[in-house]
Amino acid sequence: MTILGIIPARYASTRFPGKPLVDIAGKSMIQRVYEQAKKCEHLTEVIVATDDTRIYDHVLAFGGVAIMTSADHQSGTDRCAEVARQHPQYNVIINIQGDEPYIDPEQITKLAFCFNDAGTQIATLVKKVANEQELFNVNSPKVVISKLSEAVYFSRSPLPHIRGQEQQNWLSHFTYFKHIGIYGYRADVLQEITKLPVSSLEKAESLEQLRWIENGYRIKVAETELETYAIDTPEDLVNLKMR
């Protein structure tokens, strides 16, 4: 099995313009993500997919591999699909978030192992919710998981609702999981899901993975105990430097 790791990176972030090039302890964020991904021995190749020449030139300058993609993509998934079409030799594509500078290679490995099962179409990671702040944080999607270790539903709200219990007691009555936003796809499935129209559930929750579930695709889930830290805003960067 050949696995291609793709790191989508765009310059024009609404909340943090230019964040792939921001300096973190002497290296850019995109360089740190790239170097962490390269440590995963299960990835045959790692490519940065960008629509900005500043990012493209920077990746080449530190010795990385980058490809220019369309500026019209609505998501990182779409950007991955464009790169995958140019590299049909890969069986599996892993979409690595470009704003997690210290992603652990073990998380990528855990995701890659999901595809040892020939029936896996799409895979992602989850982590047990540790506290009420995580449980009720609308920016941290939760995942309902079946006995087959597949995602039943993703929501910004805590699901399920524990009837008859005060919300502060929910964690003691049920094991909740939050979504860790790294995805793997069979190469053919990736091309299929990027052709699907936006779905009603996706619009409601603003979570693109609901489009896949609503159209009958199955998402394999693997549990990780490792935390991730994404840089979405300048404030996140300040908090990271204080850690």
> Predicted confidence band at 237 (pLDDT cuts at 50, 70, 90)?
confident
Looking at residue 243, what is its pLDDT? 56
Q: Give the predicted TM-score (pTM) of the model.
A: 0.94
For residue 190, give the nearest of 85, 108, 112 by alpha carbon: 85
Position 45 in a domain: yes
Position 203 in a domain: yes
Tell me the C-alpha to C-alpha distance, in Å, between residue 144 and each of 49, 126, 148, 178, 220. 31, 10, 12, 9, 12
Burial class from Cβ neighbours inside 10 Å (0-12, 13-18, 19+) for residue 114 reads buried
| Average confidence score pLDDT of the chain | 94
Domain span including residue 172: 3-230
Examine residue 234 and say whether the peptide bond preceding it is cis (omega within 30 degrees of 0): no
DSSP β-ladder status, 3-9 and 92-95: parallel
> Predicted confidence band at 234 (pLDDT cuts at 50, 70, 90)?
confident
The residue-averaged pLDDT of 101-115 equals 96
Position 166 in a domain: yes
Q: What is the CATH number of the domain that holds 74?
A: 3.90.550.10
Position 241 in a domain: no
Find out whether 212 and 199 touch, Cβ atoms under 8 Å: no
Position 208 in a domain: yes
Looking at residue 230, what is its pLDDT? 81
Position 145 in a domain: yes
Position 201 in a domain: yes
Domain count within the chain: 1
Find out whether 186 and 80 touch, Cβ atoms under 8 Å: no
CA angle, 31 as apex, 2 and 80 as ends, to 5°?
40
Position 121 in a domain: yes
